[in-house]
Structure formats: C-alpha cells, structure tokens
Structure 1
Amino acid sequence: MIEMFDERIVDAGRLPLFGFFVAFMVTFVLTRVNVRLIRSNVRWLRNVTAGDVHIHHVVFGVVLMLIGGVASLAIPDGHVRYSLAAAVVFGMGSALVLDEFALILHLSDVYWTEKGRTSVDAVFVAIAVTGLLLLGLHPLGYENFGLDSGSPGSLSPLYAAFLVVNLVLAVITLLKGKIWTGLIGLFVPALLIIGAIRVARPGSPWSRWRYDETSRRYQRAVRRELTYRRPLIRAKIWVQEFIAGRHDLIPPELMQRRAEAAERARRRRLARAQRRAAARAMRRQNARGPGAWAQRRAERKAERRAERRAERAVRRAERRAVARARRAALARAPGPTAARMRARTATRRRTPYPEPEEEPPTEEKPRAGTPG
C-alpha cells in the first residue's frame, strides 16, 4: 500500500493534489457536522456573528483560498512540503466555499432548503474531478497524446482534432441535460460518445429545441426518465441528506415571515417588561415620598381637568349661539305660526315656573288593635 502510494502519488508529483483532496473532504464533513449540531440547538455551538450580522463560513473559505492560492504561487519549485501546506489550506477554503455554493448562486440564505442541494452537488463534482485527476486521468485526452515532438510548444494535428471532437461531444452531452456524463466524459471520452448518441432528458435545452411532445424520441425520453433517472435521483437525495442533513419542508418565505413575527413578538414582550419595570420603580419611589412621578401625575390630572372645563365652556357657548340664532330666525319669520311661537317664547321669558303647592298635612288614622 505504501509502495503504491509512493509510486502513484509521491513519484508522480501528485502529493499537493492529494493534500488538497484529503483536506477538502475532511473540511466538508466537519463543516456539515458542525452546522447540523448548530441546527439541533447544541449549547456549546453557535453561529459566528458580529453584532446583528451572521457571518457565513463562505467568508472564511474565501480568505483561506486566497491565502493558499497566493502561497502556492509564491513558493518556488522544489519545496514540496510548503506546496503541500498551501494545497491543504486551499482545499479547506474550497470546501467552505462550495458548501455554501447555493447561497452564492441564489444570493439568498437557502442553505437548509431544497435549493441548497446545489451546494452538495458542487461538492460531489469537485470530489469526482479531483479523484479522477489523482487516478492519473487527464481531461480531453491522454497524457502521451499531446505535443508534437518535432515542433516544441505546438499541438499535433491528431491531438487537435481529438480535442475539438471531445469538446463538441461534451457540449452536446451537457445540452442534453446529462451533467455527470459530460463532466466524467471529459476524463473518459467514451462516455461522451454514449451521452451524445442517447436521447436527451425531458426539459433539457436539446429536448426543447429538437423534440416534439408527440414524437417517439420524447416519449422514450420520458419513459427512461421515470424508469432509470428518478430512482437514481432518489438515491442521490438520500445520500445527500445522509451526509449533509435533510432540508426544510417549509418554504423560505414562510420561514422568514415566521422569524419576523417572532422577532416582533419578542420586541413587544421586551417593551412590556421595560414598561412594567419602570412602573414598579415609580411606585416604589412614590411610596418613599412625593417625587417627580407624583408631581407629573398631578400635572397630568390638572391638565385633564382644564381640558374638560374648556370643552364644557365650548359646548355651552355653542348651545347659546344656536339658541340666539334660532330666536333671531324666529323673530324674522312671517306668518301666524311664527307670531304664536314668538308670543309663547315671550310668555315663558316673563312668567317664572310656578312653585309646587304644598299639600295639607293628613291625619294618620290609628291602626286597628292599637289604643287611640
């Protein structure tokens, strides 16, 4: 095993790539374990925040990628250990960035939603491509199929034709919706031929452009999608949820509204508690002796009393104005009815209300059985 490692990795100059591969996978697994524990409300793990800002781990990933990339460029050739350290740092940063690839793609926090599976897909693609490179496979052709020995730095015609054919087949395969076949086919060109010949997936650009919904090719593509593709997708989702955790079934918009409602309720409870604490403090201060609170309360009572007096005075003045206007209108009104009403009003003004007459005292008759 050690001899194979020395032969395939160390002697072939793939030790920095191996360090990148191992650091990438270990960092991704540890990151997913960490976020799943945070999601489970473990006490000793919390999100990294700066005030009210939640700092996602993609920020640390970008910093680590920058450090590892610049270090790998600055290290001179021949220093394998330093190149290995730079590759490890770059692999850690790449894992942190690709773990939140969906957030960068959608520009929103979709980490625990169905759209967040894009991050896991990106991580799987990176692991697959790096693993193929470690196995010694080269994209778009073999290593010994390369440059022309007669003219250094120039491509041989055969390799140039092979490169163009592979690129065309890869584009056709990707347009047919076969992402994994197209990516792995860059290292295994036989898969590109198979992917370019077989029918496209329903909903892919090639299917929209070339297939009619009533054609045999489209019906065959639908049958293959239901028979082969859907079970593979379910198996892939199961593996993703086993490694990265299950996504939320609640839409992110509803979760955002729930979070906002919970925040508003929390603020109302906090304001209510503050008001109660202030009222208790004022009551304690008032119990010790008259203070500013009692003085403000007396001032508020006086202000309310003055407002009530002013309102009564305004209503009284309005009633008087209405009565004067009515009398003036009655004095100007013609006709016998108006004359009778004017006479009645004048009589009421001259004659005071009669005082009630006193009833003569009545003698009480003695009850039966009592001495008279």
Structure 2
Amino acid sequence: MSDWWYRNIIEPGKLPLLLALASFVLTFLITRLITRLIRAGKGPFRNISGSGGVHIHHVVPGVVLIVVGGFGAVGSGSTGWWAGISAVLFGMGAGLVLDEFALILYLDDVYWTERGRKSTEAVVLTASLAGLLLCGFLPFGVNSLTDEEQHDRAALILSVLISLLFSLIALFKGKARMGVLGVLIPFVALIAAVRLARPGSFWDERLYARRPRARARAVKRAARHDARWAVPRRRIQDWLGGAPDQ
C-alpha cells in the first residue's frame, strides 16, 4: 500500500496534480459555503460590485488564477517549488471558474436556478477525472496495455482509436458523463455505447427516426432510469452546492 501511495500520489511527477486537485475541491467547497451564507444574509460576506454597480462574479478572478497558474506550470516543469505553487493557483482558479460553469454555458446569471446545477455536475466530473489520473489511469486505455503492446505503434494506435470511438458514440447517444469518464475507463464508454440512446440525443434523432420500437424502448428506459436516480442525484447536488430557488 505504501509503495502504491508513493508511486501514484507522492512521487514528484504526481505531486502538482495532487495539489491542483486538493486546491480545486477546497476552493469549490469554500466558495459554495460563502455564496450560501451571502444568499442567507449571514456572516460578513457580501457580493462584490465594481464601478457602476456591476456585479463581479468570481469567475473573473478564477480566470486570472488559471492564466497565472497555467503559464507558471508550463514554464516551471513538473518539479520544484514553483510547480507546486502554480498547481495550487491553477486548482483554485479552476474551482472558481467551474463553480460558475452554468453562467458561462448559458451566458446568464443562473447560479441559484435549476440550470445552475450544471456547475455542480461540471465540478464533480472534473474532480473525478483528476482523481482517476492521480490514481494512474491514462486516457483511452493506454494504461491497460502491456509494455510490448505500448512499443507496438499499431496496437497502441488501434487501442486509442477504439476507445475514442466508444467515447464518441456515448456522447452521440446523449450520455455525456459516461462518455467523458470513458476517456479514462474505456469499459464505461463501451457500456454507454452498446446501450440505447437517450431521447433527444443526436443518435436518437438521426438513427431512431425510422425505428419506432427502438425509440419507444429508449424513452421507457430513460424514464425508468431518471425515476430511479434523479432524486438521489439532486439531493447530492443540493448538499454540495445548495438547492436552487423555487
């Protein structure tokens, strides 16, 4: 266990990623705590406004931190104290930006609305991907190949293309979460690729238009899935980011 911890977490090459992930999660949690206190009218925190009464969203300092941390990381390499500082700055900036991901997506202040849940989803998905990378998972199943297969360019390229195909099919079928996670865990993308598409997805509109039975099965399965998981997912999102306004 100690060897795995050092090899995958503490070794110099992984330390910046660990610092970035930790600062990313902490920044998101602290930001949500502050915004919830502001929303409730408690504590000393207040919204920040610029000249003319323009509300300054925290995505603005987040972009600045991402730029500073990103360029600092590129210039410093993967080791040294500046690499660690850059990783922390980048993680903080990413936490601030993705906390308002819905605002960027819809170009509207939807922070405490139903559409604002997209921000929490983006944060959870990003943290999951970073955690998988930290644990040693590599994109498109490369980590599952043997040393001989990795030296064989044809086998490596074929593995990457097949894994990418599964992820793209999952995205076309309206299963964005599984498609993105499938970049690191191809088996997840494979499951999404072989199952029915979500109603309203690109796959549904293009390939189920002349297959009414398949479309009916897809609608039924999606309704059953949503009935089972929608409420628990919303409760987790409300616990992490706060419930939207009614």
TM-score for the superposition, normalised by structure 2: 0.91
Partner of 1:54: 55
Moved more, 230-239 or 208-217: 208-217
Shift of 1:211: 1.4
RMSD between aligned residues = 2.4
Partner of 1:105: 105
Q: 2:153 aligns with which of 145, 156, 166?
A: 156
Gapped regions of structure 1 (runs ≥ 5)? 250-372
Partner Cα distance (1:24, 1:71) in 2: 17
**Counterpart mapping for 1:79-228 below 5 A:** 79=80, 81-143=81-143, 145=145, 156-212=153-209, 215-228=212-225
Shift of 1:112: 0.9
Partner of 1:74: 75
1:111 aligned partner, one-letter code: Y
Moved more, 234-243 or 155-164: 155-164
Cα 1:218/1:4, change in 2 over 3 Å? same
Q: Across the two proteins, how many residue pairs are aligned to each other? A: 245
Cα 1:182/1:76, change in 2 over 3 Å? closer
Q: Contact between 1:181 and 1:195, CA under 8 Å: does it hold in 2?
A: yes
When Rg is computed on C-alpha atoms for both structures, the one with the higher figure is 1
Partner Cα distance (1:115, 1:165) in 2: 34
Partner Cα distance (1:209, 1:149) in 2: 37
Moved more, 161-170 or 61-70: 161-170
**Counterpart mapping for 1:1-372 below 5 A:** 4-11=4-11, 13-51=13-51, 52-76=53-77, 78-79=79-80, 81-143=81-143, 145=145, 156-212=153-209, 215-249=212-246
Q: Contact between 1:146 and 1:156, CA under 8 Å: does it hold in 2?
A: no
TM-score for the superposition, normalised by structure 1: 0.61
Shift of 1:148: 8.2
Q: Contact between 2:59 and 2:96, CA under 8 Å: does it hold in 1?
A: yes
Residues 194-230 of structure 1, C-alpha deviations (whole Å, 9 max, x = no match): 2111111111111111114872222221221122233
Cα 1:194/1:12, change in 2 over 3 Å? farther
Residues 116-149 of structure 1, C-alpha deviations (whole Å, 9 max, x = no match): 1111111111011101101101111224749989
1:217 aligned partner, one-letter code: A
Q: State percent identity of aligned pairs.
A: 38
User: 1 or 2 for the larger relative contact order (CA 8 Å, sep ≥6)?
Assistant: 2
Gapped regions of structure 2 (runs ≥ 5)? none
2:116 aligned partner, one-letter code: G
